[in-house]
Structure 1
Amino acid sequence: MAAHSGAGGVGLGHVGIAIAGKAVAICFLAGICTAILAPGLPPSVLRWVGLLAGLLLWLANPRWRWLGALLTGMAWAWLHAGWGLDQQLPLALEGREVSVVGVVTSLPQHEIRRTRFQLQIDGDTAQSAGLQGRTVQVSWYDDFGVTEPGPRIHVRAGERWRLNLRLRAPRGLINPGGFDAERHALAQGIAASAIVRQVPTPQRLSAPAGLGAWREQMAARITAQVPTGSSRYVQALALGDTRGLGEADWQVLRATGLTHLIAISGFHVGMVALCAAWMVAGIWRLLPWCGRYCPRPQAVAIGALIGATVYAAVAGFGLPTVRTVLMVAVVVLARLGRRPVDVAASLALAALAVLCLAPLSVLTAGFWLSFAGVAWLLWCLPERGHWLGSFLSAQRVATLGLLPLTVLLFGQASAIGPVANLLAIPWWSLVVVPLALLGTALEAVSNGAGGLAWRASAWCFDLSWPLFQALGSGRYALWWLPEPAWFALPLALLAAIWMLLPAGTPGKYLAVLLWLPLCLPWRDRPRDGAFELITLDVGQGLAVLVRTGQHSLLFDAGPAVADGFDAGERVVVPALRALGVQQLETLVVSHGDHDHAGGVAAVQTVLPAHSLWAPPGLALQSEAGPTCGAGQAWQWDGVRFEFLHPTPGFPYLGNESSCVLRVQGRYGTALLTGDIGEVIEQRLLKQVPAKLHADVVLVAHHGSGGSSSRAFVAATGARLALISNGHGNRFGHPRPDVVRRWQRNGAEVLATADSGALQVWLGEGGLQVRERRIWRSRLWDAAERARAAAILSDIKNAATAPEG
């Protein structure tokens, strides 16, 4: 009988491996990634057919289970992507104001000018059709002279509100090195972005309730009981609440490679699970009669799972914590079933569980860093050894194994990260975090009981933070790397595997060569007499990079709003880094309007230009620099740069004083016009008519109706007209008649709002252009292109109508 039972156990184990083994999990993940990389969604019928066929192969035929897992992963990801896109804002509600009732589901972020939070709209039929049960990202602006950040708008997590919202579908700027807001919205299940309207007056319908409200209340108690500024770090380590961390804090954390520690990580959840297991074991030893109802090994396992789950809930169920809870759950279930299970198998099952519940989590950086980090450690580290040697080996494995993903996901690498982690991991994880958790547990039992432990945690954190600030402030602490080619990641991963093979493996040092495409990507710079022009997607503003063989010029730096969005910081600087620009020789500010000059300060702080040009009479941060005047010219690498406007003595008149720059190479000419209007266009037609001819023209004033006169358009003879404008901007740029005018003159018209960043080459191959939104087409772009086509149908119809 015993032998029969054992055989049955082995059989069950084999079945489990067949259905949910490590190789199957990898195939399932590969199928999801393949689907996500596809340029569009297949029809709904094919998605369901693929899912059913994949499940049959996976579950019913062991020979084809890997192919079945691959096919199932593809179909499941496509289905979820389709559902997510269907949940996004219906076209009929685009730009409309609607009244909704919903619950605040996130911790509100209180900034200087606004409060941001996620609102889960009620699912009842009283809500607007197409919004029931959906999540929207809400911005509530408060511009009544407030100069300090703080919760002036008293929105709390867990409250129910009646709000009047102006809605827009999720849409982001598409640039090299830029944040992909549309991918983020799809991964997080956000249906729309919204702005609160003050009329009618917003109404709070219920007090805070639920886990989010408890977390926010606990964060407020930490702030009240920890008088030093380090309370924000205790909030992050105890609750996963990083709202209090500023850009300076994140800069230090990025430079030192410690971002994975400042918020609650899987390691912290594991510590809590271990402590819970010890507590249960102690209780069972003190009260032996408890074993009559549940054996001690099973009770310890259940206690560990409960402890891990409770702590993950306190942390807001972030992906690293969920992964650890699932791994603990697999081990606990195996213990309850009295079956062996190794850590690698539990990781595979945890990955399968996460991917089955949320296949679009592969769109987040946290998924890859969380699972890849554990997988590397399991593959490379020995099972036994001295604790110090194991710790050092873990750091080496994590550094080499995760470096390719870090560079690909964030475009950066921390040079002193390994050293900082050697110091931070033992001190923060074994001293600072336990004290923060102890304070939270005591505070949950009795109000005010956690203050001492929280203050001790803050004091211990303060002992180490100055050291990490010093390490992170070094010039070479953080390396920003250019955007690599598609094949750089697999080569770097192969190099990491090669270098982590056992000692004595031949050619390990040659693996360094495989890192070169990732860390030193080839940059195809223009040859002598050629140049490249990149119009960045900065919204309603302008930023254009002009590159020759050895030089770079930035024409304008994008918009910026006081204490708000700064395109210089959020768009221009990351794009310059992704394009491999390490030094700007010249920065031209066409004129002083905030949509052109707003980002100058941010760019100058990070990549200060050797020379800054501006129109006469425009003061930029009290910097005395050269002024752009007609006739001023210079030459770089066989390319001539010349200003055509303003003329000497021309007063500063805002738009009409815009610097007009002509860039002439051996293979073509480009004309950058700023925001000039028809009056200046007529002056240029009289003064320098021959110099207006260009292959590429940056359409003046974002395509407004006051520019691009017929005579000026005809004089340029442009083959390509570029427009830098914001999607759905309130000015209606570009105007349909302006688009029609350029098109009828033989020019192809491209706008950043539709195409993302526009990259133009004028070289030996002639005029070449790349639209980034199409070149880097993503799964969710097909739906976005359909939406954009519908919104712009009136404009296109007007563009084909006769000009009146």
Structure 2
Amino acid sequence: MDSAAGTPPFGIATAAALLCGVTAILLWPGMPPGQPVCLLVVLAGGVMWWKASRWRWVGALLVGLGLSGLHAGHTLALQLPAAWERRVVTVSGTVDDLPEHEPRQTRFLFKVDDDRSQPEPLRGHRLRVSWSDADASTRGSVQAGQRWRFKVRLKAPRGLRNAGGSDAEKHAFASRIAANAQVRQPHTAQRLVEARGLQAWREGVSARIAAAIPGDTSRFIQALAIGDTRAIRDEDWTLLRANGLTHLIAISGSHVGLVSTFFAMLVYGLWWLLPGLSGWAPRQVAAAAAAMLGALAYSAAAGFAVPTVRTALMIAAVSLALGARRRVSPFDTLALAVIVVLLYDPLSVLGAGFWLSFMGVAWLMWCLPQGGPQPVREFLSAQGVATVGLLPMAVLLFGQVSMAGPVANLVAVPWWSLVVVPLSLLGAALESLHAGLGAWPLRAAAWCFDLSWPLFEWLGSSPLALWWVAESRWFALPLALLGAFWLLLPRGVAGKSLAALLWLPLLWPDRQLPTHGVAEVTVIDVGQGLSVLVRTAGHTLLYDTGPAMRDGFDAGERAVLPTLRARGVRRIDRVVVSHADNDHAGGLDAVRAAYALPALLAPEGAGIDGAGNCMAGEGWAWDGVRFRFLHPTPYFPYLANDSSCVLRVETRQGVLLLTGDIGEIIERELVRREPAALLADVVVVAHHGSETSSDPAFVKATRARHAIMSTGHGNLFRHPRPSIVQRWRDAGATVWDTAKAGAITFRLGQGTLAPETRRSTHRRLWDAAQRVEQGRAGLSYRLD
């Protein structure tokens, strides 16, 4: 078939159509079509792709739609059924990755055996397992490749949903994780088989690297050599993000490409030294095969992590094209790589690496010549192109810009890629043969890494190194990409200075501040805890900061700060910590580290460092909005929950009541003492909807139109209690729960009060199964 007569079967148009089809299904917020329908679409599209020369792009589009629907439907079917939530079962299987040993828990992926002895919904599926500190000696012996049998409590892979926050549910969906599991009765756990296989080899080599390198630098060499990032600390990641270097510190696509290039050059040199080998295989074919072999080997060393598999497939596509000795344009080669990756795993488009890697290569191929006599100039040009071209996508994906990134990458890309990584790989390869054999290249790699690290510490310590960008509207990315395209056009093109204006909606988005007399309120989804953001026209109040758990989860870092940054909050004028319990005050340290807090209030005796006292009768006014405390009264002793700061927020057309964790006794006292002050349009229900709060007289006195409960999905306390939900509903309130709705935002004093939930305004395909099971076909996540 003459491809010149129509669309090439593996050309740019075909790859673009396939990508559009895949992306369309994954962006669709509803359930995908049934598996038989998707299969028919794939078959019909495949026939058109192969036979219809002029309409191949339509066939590729249909294949993308159908194939993505098949994968999405299958992955949704893997998710834990609602009837199995919180059920304790016995499972056996294999530790499927390198376990993360933390002070109080061990976490790992676990592949359940695929046999009839396992619970039917879990057979052959992956679980994300956490093993708490109940039995530190046993959990500390968990190693990759071992087989275990233990009891676990199951929980759906639900995550927090906030503006700017990471989407744990998307990660679980893309990784085909069926459920989260917590080990129960650890004394009954049995290790069935000792460590073996690829993951066990990786863990052994990682341990040898750590033993061979004195000092802390071993954590970076472990990451660069075999992709083991477990020892890298949070502060390391913060510094790497500030320098724009996270793409280099673990095994990345560029490192896989480096290894494959080395293998190809090795074969070229061997064929040059031994010309007779050309009779066995042409030099170009042998080099292409060596490149594929090198990429495969390095991907295996990384445990076949998604970025390395994607890059290996790209290299395989390119190598096959070169090995076939067909003249293929660089863009057609890139298109072939896109097609191969999408056919292998359509869900890979959910990862940031997919877009950054392919877009980065496309920008470089379009802007730069293929090789040249001035390699230094070409390298500098490549860094400039990558910075400008990928900046819009990086802002959309991460909500931040690394101002130090261009400078840091000028040093890190050549130094780490050409010096540190090769030495690390050589050392890891020698260590895999015999312990201690690779000590000298590993120590040399660590020494070379240490030479560059102080520079990055200096660059990353600047307050301007990392610039957080507020969440923008949907049209901001296309405009910014158009601006990047315009800026990267050849010299002499007119109007390049005007192209910068197209970046404004992305880099300086409208923060949508409320007008005078209006308060915007966001009940942040922090899990089992509370944090409320209140913005007026010119001020910001934060009421509570969510929990910080012993397992390392900090709502201040994971939920509160991303929300503040996505809302464009540049300063916090006042923080109120309702009381000192962890689920309300745990995230305070993370907020303090990121923002200066000119005013901090808490109950007297709460023990919050640097806090003044909240006291009934005291208040202030901001931009036409009045704030007043209703509790605790003067000289009230600190009684934890019952000492919570109760805050009334009053606008010209609506009132909000923030109640902390007060109990029924305090609620009845407020009804007796200040019944008029309790009238409110919105009440954040006390103590997460527990049975110890929401006294009937208090509920009736508020006359609330909306009652909001901040809870964690599947929490051990079983909040909110159904009887409390019904009590608020009987009083005429619409009840909302952050565990189902995500963050809840509304505006007091601005027309009709209509709360918006993060899950309804940003619907996702992986929510679809949850909506079906909950029986909610509409946008609302209220407790109906």
TM-score under structure 2 normalisation?
0.96
For residues 582-661 of structure 1, the aligned pairs below 5 Å read 582-621=570-609, 623=610, 625-661=611-647
- Is the counterpart of residue 190 in structure 1 residue 184 in structure 2? no
1:540-599 deviation line (CA, Å, top 9, x unaligned):
111011111000101111011235211111111111111111111110011111111111
Instruction: Give distance in 1, aligned partners of 2:568 and 2:273.
Output: 64
Q: Is contact 1:667-1:766 (8 Å) kept?
A: no
CA distance in structure 1 between the aligned counterparts of 2:718 and 2:107, rounded to whole angstroms? 27
Partner residue of 2:656?
Answer: 670
Q: Is the 8 A contact 1:254 1:414 kept in 2?
A: yes
Q: Which residue of structure 2 aligns with residue 435 of structure 1?
A: 423
Once residues 754 and 324 of structure 1 are traced to their aligned partners in structure 2, the CA distance between those partners, rounded to angstroms, is: 37
The residue number in structure 1 matching 2:281 is 294
The yes-or-no answer on 1:259 pairing with 2:246 is: yes
Match of 1:710 in 2: 696
- Aligned counterpart, 1:699: 685
- Give distance in 2, aligned partners of 1:286 and 1:526: 74
In the TM superposition, residue 16 of structure 1 has moved relative to its aligned partner by 11
Unaligned runs of 5+ in 1: 1-10
1: CA distance, partners of 2:340 / 2:726 = 54
Distance in 1, Cα, partners of 2:127 & 2:528: 23
Distance change (3 Å), C-alpha of 1:260 and 1:223: same
Distance 1:215 1:15, change over 3 A: farther
Counterpart residue number, 2:18: 28
CA–CA distance in 1 between the matches of 2:704 and 2:723? 17
Per-residue deviation, residues 580-624 of structure 1 (Å, max 9, x unmatched): 111111100111111111111111111232110001111113x2x
Using the alignment, how far apart are the partners of 1:219 and 1:465 within structure 2? Answer: 21
Q: Which residue, 457, 461, 474 being the options, matches 1:469?
A: 457
**8 Å contact kept, 2:96–2:145:** yes
Describe the SS at the equivalent of 1:780: helix
Q: CA deviation at 1:732?
A: 2.1
Please name the residue that 1:738 is paired with. 724
For the residue of structure 2 that corresponds to 1:437, the secondary structure is helix
Q: Distance in 1 between matches of 2:554 and 2:341?
A: 36
CA distance in 1, matches of 2:242, 2:642: 43
Partner of residue 61, structure 2: 70
Q: Kindly tell me: are residues 412 and 56 of structure 1, through their superposed partners in 2, closer, same or farther at Cα, counting changes over 3 Å? A: same
Alpha-carbon separation, structure 1, partners of 2:271 and 2:552: 56
Structure 2 counterpart of 1:65, one-letter code? R
Show the counterpart of 1:394: 382
Query: Does the aligned pair in 1 maintain the 2:321–2:333 contact within 8 Å?
Result: no
1:703-736: per-residue Cα shift (whole Å, max 9, x none)? 1112112211111111111111111222222122
| Counterpart position of 2:435 | 447
Q: Residue 293 and residue 13 in structure 1: after superposition, are their counterparts in 2 closer, same or farther (change >3 A)?
A: farther
Deviation at 1:482, TM superposition (A): 0.8
- How big is each residue's C-alpha offset from its partner over 1:17-65, in whole Å with a ceiling of 9 and x where there is no partner? 6211111101111111111111112431432333233223322212221
Indicate if the aligned counterparts of 2:7 and 2:56 stay in contact, CA closer than 8 A.
no
Q: Displacement, 1:14?
A: 4.7
Q: Is 1:525 the equivalent of 2:513?
A: yes
SS of equivalent residue, structure 1 residue 424: helix
Aligned residue number for residue 747 of structure 2: 761
Determine the C-alpha separation between the residues in 2 that align with 1:497 and 1:171.
38
Corresponding residue number in structure 2 for 1:8: none
Counterpart selection for 1:40 from 6, 9, 30? 30
2: CA distance, partners of 1:404 / 1:157: 38
Question: Aligned to 1:766, what secondary structure does the other structure show?
Answer: coil
Q: Is the 8 A contact 2:158 2:168 kept in 1?
A: yes
Structure 2: stretches of 5+ with no match in the other structure: none
Give the distance between the partners of 1:714 and 1:323, measured in 2 at CA: 59
SS of residue in 2 equivalent to 1:663: strand
Aligned-partner SS, 2:74: helix
CA distance change for structure 1 residues 335 and 482 in 2, over 3 Å: closer, same or farther?
Answer: closer
Per the alignment, residue 719 of structure 1 pairs with 705
Kept in 2, the 8 Å contact 1:723–1:734? The answer is yes
Per the alignment, residue 107 of structure 2 pairs with 116
Distance in 2, matches of 1:15 and 1:107, equals 51
2:91 aligns with 100
Q: Conserved in 1, the CA contact under 8 Å of 2:32 and 2:73? A: no
- Quote the Cα distance in structure 1 between the aligned partners of 2:285 and 2:513: 64
SS in 2 for 1:62: coil
| Cα drift, residue 640 of structure 1 | 0.5
d(CA) in 2 for partners of 1:491 and 1:619?
50
Contact 1:164–1:200 (8 Å) recurs in 2? no
Equivalent pair of 1:377/1:398 in contact (CA under 8 Å): yes
**Correspondent of 1:278 among 265, 272, 275:** 265
Q: How does 1:219-618 map to 2 (within 5 A)?
A: 219-385=206-372, 386-562=374-550, 564-618=552-606
Q: Deviations over 1:436-469 (max 9, x none)?
A: 1121222234432111000000000000101100
Aligned partner of 2:66: which letter?
A: A
- Specify whether residues 270 and 199 from structure 1 end up closer, same or farther in structure 2 by C-alpha distance, changes over 3 A only: closer
8 Å contact from structure 1 (residues 323, 351) kept in 2: no
Q: Note if contact 2:543-2:578 (Cα within 8 Å) is conserved in structure 1.
A: yes
Write the distance in 2 (CA, Å) between the matches of 1:364 and 1:161: 31
Amino acid at match of 1:311: Y
Greater alpha carbon shift after TM alignment, 24-33 vs 90-99: 90-99
Counterparts of 1:346 and 1:335, CA distance in 2: 9
How far apart in 2 are the matches of 1:765 and 1:363? 38
The aligned length equals 778
Pair 151,706 (structure 1): closer, same or farther in 2 beyond 3 Å: closer
Q: 1:245 to 1:312 in 2, by over 3 A?
A: same
Give the match's secondary structure for 1:196: strand
Question: Would you say 1:747 and 2:733 are equivalent positions?
Answer: yes
**Superposition pairs for residues 1-12 of structure 1, below 5 Å?**
none
CA distance in 1, matches of 2:5, 2:267: 33
The residue type paired with residue 15 of structure 2 is A
1:645, 1:659 within 8 Å by CA — same for their partners in 2?
Answer: yes
Structure 1 window deviating more from structure 2 (411-420 vs 363-372): it is 363-372
Distance 1:243 1:755 in 2: 33
Q: Distance in 2 between matches of 1:151 and 1:585?
A: 48
CA RMSD of aligned residues (A): 2.0
Whole-angstrom CA distance in 2 between matches of 1:126 and 1:581: 53
Instruction: Specify whether residues 162 and 37 from structure 1 end up closer, same or farther in structure 2 by C-alpha distance, changes over 3 A only.
Output: same
TM-fit CA distance, 1:199: 4.9
CA distance in 2 between partners of 1:327 and 1:92 (Å):
42
* 2:236 partner amino acid: D
| 289-298 vs 117-126, greater mean Cα deviation | 289-298
Give the C-alpha shift of residue 143 in structure 1. Answer: 4.5
Deviations for 1:62-96, whole angstroms, at most 9, x for unmatched residues?
22211221222122111111000101223332211
Q: Distance in 2 between matches of 1:644 and 1:129?
A: 53
Structure 2 counterpart SS, 1:119: strand
1:530 partner letter: V
Q: Against the structure 1 CA distance between its residues 107 and 713, is the aligned structure 2 distance closer, same or farther, given a 3 Å change threshold?
A: same
Question: 8 Å contact 2:209–2:431 — kept in the other structure?
Answer: no
CA distance 1:563–1:86, change in 2 (3 Å): closer
